[in-house]
Amino acid sequence: MAAVTTRGLSKHFGEVRAVDGLDIEIADGEFFSMLGPSGSGKTTVLRLVAGFERPTAGRILLGDEDVTGLPPYRRDVNTVFQDYAIFPHMDVLTNVEYGLRVKKVDRKQRRQRAQEALAAVRLEGFAKRRPTQLSGGQRQRVALARALVNRPKVLLLDEPLGALDLKLRREMQLELKQIQRDVGITFVFVTHDQEEALSMSDRVAVFNHGRVEQVATPVELYENPASSFVAGFVGTSNRIGGGAAQQLLGTPGEYAVRPERLRVVAAGASVESGELTLPGRVREVVYLGPTTHAIVQLDGGTTLTVSRPNTGGVAEPPLEASDRLIAVALRRDSLIALSGRNQETEETA
């Protein structure tokens, strides 16, 4: 049984179609992410599922129960927000217990359940601390424990890692996924960060202009994007079309190729069997620690980004910006055909 189902779900704000006819099913126990740029409709969907907004049209089901007209407190969901909303005058345990106290759960039971929730987020021993004594990641986990203590069927997370620094955010991505596995609750996670979505999710829905472009596993999204918008938004993607595609393949068309599937070789150098080449010049080199990016301008004017891992090997020539002619080599099976896929969203994005 699906944990969350939307059927024809729409939300309009005047002339703005924030959500436009959404049909989606989220499996029970799934870590499901809604990914997209600002204004794409993902947070509005979360608020509709939570009951904070009323839909213009369509239905929302939690399990087999239609909750479209129910207020938030009658839906078996909890929400974790980016700002955590932890009470600063309460210690950690009291914060976590708060929802149970509102529901008039007796003191002994709520204390036990709060301690279990703290254990689930690995905060045993922090019960008597105040929020000001916690790091950003610890406060985020307190907010998570407070949501989990109510034992909801679905946990909604609205960009909960957005306020954390990069290193801590990456640590918490792994923590959240492990917590979700441990507790077995359906997580619906909203983010605009593609790395978060790809690293944490069982499946990802990519939003654009109130609609879903594709729902797929992270691997499927990256390796086989359903539209040019998905190819450009999920990961870095080069576009090859027009004269470059004609020169490369002998036929016109529009293609995408990932930077790590390209390599820079000396002009006229022999290449591996099955590789194709395009002549150009390295215009800029960007060092990024684990990788180095070469910005290559092809003879026809197209610009490509080539990513090379910094492994310390010397098998390939050094990357440097110059007017010296080089070639970009790639395999034909690295090309993702975009011709015939959804072009409308690309033109309006």
The predicted-structure confidence for 74-116, as pLDDT tens digits, reads as follows: 999 999 887 777 888 999 999 999 989 888 899 999 999 999 9
Read off the pTM: 0.87
The predicted-structure confidence for 306-338, as pLDDT tens digits, reads as follows: 999 988 765 566 788 998 999 999 999 999 998
C-alpha closest to that of 330 among 290, 272, 281: 272
The predicted-structure confidence for 124-137, as pLDDT tens digits, reads as follows: 889 999 999 998 88
pLDDT of residue 348 exceeding 60: no
| pLDDT score of 163 | 72
How would you write the chain as a 3-class SS string?
CEEEEEEEEEEEECCEEEEEEEEEEEECCCEEEEECCCCCCHHHHHHHHHCCCCCCEEEEEECCEECCCCCHHHCCEEEECCCCCCCCCCCHHHHHHHHHHHCCCCHHHHHHHHHHHHHHCCCCCCCCCCHHHCCHHHHHHHHHHHHHCCCCCEEEEECCCCCCCHHHHHHHHHHHHHHHHHHCCEEEEEECCHHHHHHHCCEEEEEECCEEEEEECHHHHHHCCCEHHHHHHCCCCEEEEHHHHHHHHCCCCEEEECHHHCEEEECCCCCCCCEEEEEEEEEEEEECCCEEEEEEEECCCCEEEEEEECCCCCCCCCCCCCCCCEEEEEEHHHCEECCCCECHHHHHC
Domains of the chain (ranges, CATH numbers): 2-226 (3.40.50.300), 238-337 (2.40.50.100)
